[in-house]
Structure formats: structure tokens, C-alpha cells
Structure 1
Amino acid sequence: MKNILFIAFIAVLAIACTGKKELTIQEKQDEVEDSVSYELIVLDPGFDSWYAMHGVPSKYRSQSYYEGWNQRYVNAWNYQRMGYRYAQLIEGNIDYQSDVDYGFELNHKLFYYFMYVENELDIQLIPDGPRIY
């Protein structure tokens, strides 16, 4: 019984590690107020723990800093998605609009997702981009 569970665990782990990386920004409508909020959903099992260790302090940079880099990274991501070097690893276009205020937290987390992709997954989207260690 233990062998079957161990093999199943290894199979699930292998599938999770080899799957394509996908990122979604969802718009959430707040029923109480007439406002829109956004939520970043990362479907990569290793990101949340990596982000918890590397994503602080969140007020280190300004929102405009994160927005500027996010726009460049989104353009690079979508370019790669069209079938270039990392097309097999990147799934889904990111609809990030520069005229929408996604808020500090979403921009911070999105920026750190791109740092995760470059530093941990070794997918260089912007060769001269910022680095964290």
C-alpha cells in the first residue's frame, strides 16, 4: 500500500513539474461597492512558497516601477508565447493593460512571478532585466 501511494505521489509530482506555466489575471466585481478589483492566479505549484521567501519587502519599490517592468515582461511573455524559444513552456497570453490600475499588490506579485520564471525556471524573458537573489 505504501509503495502504491509513493508511486502515485511521484507521478503527480512529475506531472506538476513538467507542465506548462500559466498565469491569469482575473477581474473580480465587488458586490458591496461599485468598484473592480483584480486577482493574480498563478498555476505553478512552486511559486507560492518561493514568493513567500523572496517577495518581501513589498514597499521596496514604487507601483510605477513594477508597472513599467511588468509591461515589458508581459510583452516578452506574449512574444515568446507566439511560438518562439520558450513556447512549449509558456501557456496563455497575459492581458495586462497599461491604462488599468491593477493596484500595488497585484503589480508586485506579477513582477515577482517574472523574477521566479527567470531565476528559478531559467526562462530568460528579458536578458537585461532586473535580478533578485
Structure 2
Amino acid sequence: MERNILKRIALLLITAGIIFSCGAQKESLEISEQEKVVFNSDDEQQVEIADEKTEYEIIIIEPGFYVWLQSIARPEGYYSQSFLENRNSLMVMNWNQRVLQPRLYNPNLYELQINYDPNIDYGYEVNYKLYNYFIFFQRKYNQRLGPFIPRI
């Protein structure tokens, strides 16, 4: 009797796993035509991420990012600073781990580590631009830097 119950539980778990994996595959990343045009753009206008108070600075020279940030990304103020900080902490951690593993992850995508301390208040603008760069990067190169699908 106990064996039959264990078999049923195992069968239910297997069935639930199959249903869950099928449902997860339906969540695909849809890239709009406008976004595809931006991703294929040769525009290399740089985006500076800086905060004078903390002397934090990143300069991003990624084709299409400036246009994407101006035309496709959610506007400043859409996300709270705490949301941006939480997501950035997670994505920086994953990014830096990939930089350290060039045999597993493309070293042309993950070139340099990002020094981001979650205990420092970098301000809204730095967090906003960094977060949006991560979303842009994940969507353009079909990468995942966290457990969530990078959506706009």
C-alpha cells in the first residue's frame, strides 16, 4: 500500500515537472521590430553612468544602447530605486561570475567586472541606466543574468 502511494506521488511530481517545464518554455522573449532595428544599429553614441558623490562611473559604448535607452526603455521614474538596486545587485553578481569563467561564458560579452556595492547609494540615475543596460544586453544577446525574463 505504501509503495503504491509513493509511486503515485512520484508520478504526480514527474507530471507536475513536465507541465511546469512546458509552461516555462512558453515564456519566450519577444523582440519587437523596432527593437531589432536598434539592436542592429551601428550607432555608437556613448552613455555615461556617473555619480559625482560616490565617484562612480561607467561609460558604455555599445551600438544601439543610447537609442534603445531613449526610445524603448521605460522612462526614468517608472521603477523605484529600491527595485533597481535589488535587480542590479543580482545582475552584477551574475555578470562578475561570468567574467571570471571565460571558458563557460563568451569573453567577448563579459569582458570586465563591475564594481557595484549594494551598501552604497549610487542614486537613481546610476541605478536606472545600469539596470537598463542589463535589460538591453540580455535582450540583444539572448542572455539571462537572473531568474527573471528581461522585459521592458
Normalising by structure 2, we get a TM-score of 0.60
Aligned residues: 106
Richer in helix (by share): 2
Structure with greater Cα Rg: 2
Ranked by relative contact order (alpha carbons within 8 Å, sequence separation 6 or more), the top structure is 1
User: Equivalents in 2 of 1:79, 1:106: separation in Å?
Assistant: 21
**Cα distance change on mapping 1:120 and 1:24 into 2, 3 Å:** same
Q: Which digits, 9 at most, give the CA deviation of each residue in 1:20-50, with x for residues without a partner?
A: xxx986664xxxxxx4454431121221111
| Cα 1:61/1:121, change in 2 over 3 Å | same
**Are 1:100 and 2:120 matched, yes or no?**
yes
In structure 2, distance between residues paired with 1:27 and 1:57:
19
More strand by percentage: 1
Q: CA RMSD in A?
A: 2.6
Please give the alpha-carbon distance, in whole angstroms, between the structure 1 residues aligned to 2:116 and 2:96. Answer: 10
Question: Which secondary structure does the structure 1 equivalent of 2:131 belong to?
Answer: helix
The answer to whether the aligner puts 1:90 opposite 2:110 as a matched pair is: yes
Q: What TM-score, normalized to structure 1?
A: 0.67
Unaligned ranges ≥5, structure 2? 1-41
Q: Which residue matches 1:81?
A: 99
Alpha-carbon displacement from aligned partner over 1:97-124 (angstroms, at most 9, x marks no partner):
1111111011011001000011112122
Sequence identity of aligned pairs in percent? Answer: 30
